[in-house]
Amino acid sequence: MASKQAGGRAGRGVGRGAPGSRRGGDGAALKLEALAQKVVEMARAQEDPAVQIPIRALSNVSFNEEKRHIEMGDAQQSRNFFNYGQAKRFMQTLLVGSKCKDLIASGKTASIRQIYYLSKHTIKGTNEKTFDDQSESDPVIEDLEVALDALREELHVFASNRGNLVGPITLVDAGSTLDCAAMGSAGYAVPSIVEADVVQFKKCQARFVLHVEKDTVWRRFHEDRFWEKHSCIVSHGGGQPARGMRRLLQRFHEELRLPVFVLLDNDPWGYYIYSVIKHGSINLAYESRRMAIPDAKFIGVSSFDYERCGLNDDVKIALDAGDVKRAKQIADYPWFANKRPWQKEIRKLLANGFKMEVEAMITRHLTYLTDEYVPMKLQDRKQWLD
């Protein structure tokens, strides 16, 4: 049976999370105060007030071969007050920091959208606004996270919920006990904050996790009760999974010892989503230690599945120049560059000249994806990509 081949043990002991994984606040508050105090001391000493921000770019990222995830380097940029090009960003950083400190002090949380509105105002005596758009405030929150070595959740900031799951697991979410096998057609909506002080695992009979890319695919698996037939959790992230989903998947893997299998579109975006789930993202490299799942396996859709599954030309979507460029970039990622199976997979995609969605499998028949394709993939380890 496919679920047995996939690994895992039903009815295993349930973990409660690693120490220090609470949403917290005291530690983050002290770090915010220290940051502010340093700026004050520089000003009193008649120095140019500055904040040091680690650089969040590919140039400051490396792949840790031992841990098998992306890590941020030591390179930093100085954000100075007496620098015309940096002054606004400097003040925005301190402003958002002060709002986070207020949230911690009041015991409240706010969404990243609410942080934008809390911080937005016109500076007295000018026509200058602190923020013109949320696209300015969101990166500042990430800058604070990495500068303080504090999670967004510790700063009492959360994002909108994205992603759902269904399967034989019972969770305790903010004090409410929830059976994820009995939550209707929408399943369990994964929250932004899933740390152990918010979400606990009460009972788990799942043998593995199957994570799919899109809601529409997830609904196929839910309606066909794939999770029941194969004793597994089926989740989706609505495209690239949000941090809450990635963190929960990692907790499933680390605390419950559940293998994680990933089913994504056969295109460069699908490859990238897998890369983020497995090794972490370049932009959020500082979060890899609590989100990356180095043992995750890619089971499809593969570039070889067109012939393997006897599909027809109706499933083909022509690659454009952007797809080709992106595929080559991904092939050059250090964590893919030395993996011959992945190089073979990407070369096949480029040779095909077309990409495929997961839904392409449905051209065989409506339940081919859940009844035949995925069970076949789970059973044949030679088709997995690591």
Same domain, 127 and 81: yes
Over residues 184-215, the pLDDT tens digits come to 999 999 998 898 988 999 999 999 999 999 99
Over residues 243-293, the pLDDT tens digits come to 899 999 999 999 999 999 999 999 999 999 999 999 988 777 777 788 899
Please give the tally of structural domains in the chain: 2
Same domain, 204 and 65: no
Same domain, 146 and 219: no
User: Using CA atoms, how far apart are residues 146 and 53, in angstroms rounded to an integer?
Assistant: 7
pLDDT more than 90, % of the chain = 72
Same domain, 174 and 292: yes
Mean pLDDT of 1-11: 45
Q: What is the CATH number of the domain that holds 68?
A: 1.10.10.10
- Give the ranges where the chain is alpha helix by DSSP (H): 2-6, 26-44, 87-106, 112-119, 134-148, 215-223, 226-229, 243-256, 268-279, 305-308, 321-331, 334-337, 340-352, 368, 374-379
Q: What is the CATH number of the domain that holds 246?
A: 3.40.1360.10
Same domain, 332 and 294: yes
Domain with 36 in it? 26-155
Q: What local confidence, expressed as pLDDT, does residue 10 receive?
A: 40
Over residues 44-84, the pLDDT tens digits come to 999 999 999 988 877 888 777 888 888 878 888 899 999 99
What pTM value is reported for the model? 0.83
Q: What local confidence, expressed as pLDDT, does residue 25 receive?
A: 62
Nearest to 255 by CA among 3, 19, 4: 19
Same domain, 278 and 362: yes
274 is catalytic: no
Query: Which of 117, 274, 286, 368 is labelled catalytic?
Result: 117
Instruction: Decide which of 136, 155, 174 is a domain's last residue.
Output: 155
